[in-house]
Amino acid sequence: MFVHVNKSTFLVKKLDDLILLHPEQTHSLSLPQIAKQILDAAIAGVSNVIATEDEICIQCEQENDEIIDSIANLEFSKEERTSKQLRLPIYFEEHVDTQRIEEHTKMGIDAYRNAILEQSYTLSMFGFVPGFLYMRGMPKVLWVPRKQSPSTQIEQGSIAVGGEFLGLYSLETPAGWNVIGKTPIRVLNLSDTPPTLIHPGDTITLEPIDEKEFKAISALSQNIIDYNA
């Protein structure tokens, strides 16, 4: 069974109270961007919409075929949400993961940091815990595999490399990615709806700051929208 959502065709799989959508053919929007449109349509009986790069999972209050019809009949405004271009400051701090990064990439840490700064990144998806960002845009030479077992707690605001993704940890959590630095800017506001200030499709460029600037910006307690205003 197939369903068409905003010019994309999806194969529909039902799993009890879950509806899983896998793309047959897509257009310019990513799955997390299409999933956001389904979520914002607030279809009756839908309790959650979760998206990764390869699947949209719709959790329903109960098994329900009408929800698939509702998704197929969603009307989308012609104007798609324009993606934002945002700057994010990064303080490259000495970290225990530096050695791992140098060993895997055969690059010195300064050259690695410069190469990281040259790229522009796209927010691909959310996941893991609130305010965690999966960003794409690293060339293969900069990829560093995730650790076999997660290390202990890392600081909130840490920016880390996990395989092909650049990640931002908004909360202090155990982490299995390789930390390269940290940002004093918040992208998460847990009490707001939506709780994130950045959305899939937005692009991010990193701006290097030193320790003094890190402390100065931290003291302002800015979020990414204020910082870019």
Partner 1 sequence: MLEFLRAGMYTSIQDRGRYGLAYYSIPQSGAMDLGALEMANMLAGNPKHAACFEFTLQGAKIRFHEETMIGLTGADMQWTLNGEEAGRFQSIHVQAGDILQGAYSIEGVRAYLAVQGRLDCPLHHGSYSFYTYGKTTPARIQQGDSIAIIRDRPLSHNYVNLMILLDHDAKEIKFTRGPEWDILTEDAKQSMQDSAFKISAQSNRMGARLEGNTLGWRPNTQTKTAPLVPGMIQLPPSGNPIVILQDGQTTGGYPRIGYIHTEELWKFNQIRYGREFRLILS
Binding mask 98-137 for partner 1 (x = CB under 8 A): ---------------------------xxxxxxxx-x---
Closest CA to 16 of 79, 62, 51: 62
Residues 158 and 169 sit within 8 Å (Cβ to Cβ): yes
Q: Which is nearer to partner 1, 13 or 216 (CB)?
A: 13
Taking CB under 8 A as the criterion, which residues in 11-30 touch partner 1? 13, 15-18, 20
* Distance of alpha carbon 120 from alpha carbon 86, whole angstroms: 10
Near partner 1 by CB under 8 A: residue from 12, 26, 55, 143: 55
* Distance of alpha carbon 200 from alpha carbon 107, whole angstroms: 30
Q: What is the DSSP letter of 92?
A: -
Q: How many CA atoms lie within 13 A of 101 on its CB side?
A: 23
Instruction: Give the residue carrying structure tokens 């302002």.
Output: 220
| Residue 52 contacts partner 1 per CB under 8 A | yes
Stretch that binds partner 1, among 33-41, 66-74, 85-93, 212-220 (CB under 8 A): 33-41
Nearest distance in Å: CB 25, partner 1: 19
Stretch that binds partner 1, among 45-53, 97-105, 114-122, 202-210 (CB under 8 A): 45-53
* Distance of alpha carbon 105 from alpha carbon 94, whole angstroms: 17
One-character DSSP codes across 15-69: ETTEEEEEEEE--SS-HHHHHHHHHHTT-TTEEEEEE-SS-EEEEESS--HHHHH
Q: Which is nearer to partner 1, 48 or 114 (CB)?
A: 48
Near partner 1 by CB under 8 A: residue from 4, 9, 26, 57: 57
Near partner 1 by CB under 8 A: residue from 171, 203, 218, 223: 171
Near partner 1 by CB under 8 A: residue from 2, 24, 45, 59: 59
Q: Which is nearer to partner 1, 154 or 209 (CB)?
A: 154
Task: Look up residue 158 and give its two tokens.
Answer: 């840490």
Task: Look up residue 159 and give its two tokens.
Answer: 């920016």
| Residue 221 contacts partner 1 per CB under 8 A | no
* Distance of alpha carbon 228 from alpha carbon 88, whole angstroms: 8
Nearest distance in Å: CB 198, partner 1: 11
Task: Look up residue 12 and give its two tokens.
Answer: 């529909």
Stretch that binds partner 1, among 47-55, 72-80, 91-99, 177-185 (CB under 8 A): 47-55
Task: Kindly give the interhelix angle for 98-105 and 109-118, rounded to the nearest 10 degrees.
Answer: 80
Residues 61 and 17 sit within 8 Å (Cβ to Cβ): yes
Binding site for partner 1 (CB under 8 A): 13, 15-18, 20, 35-36, 39, 42, 47-57, 59, 125-132, 134, 156, 170-173, 190-191, 193-196
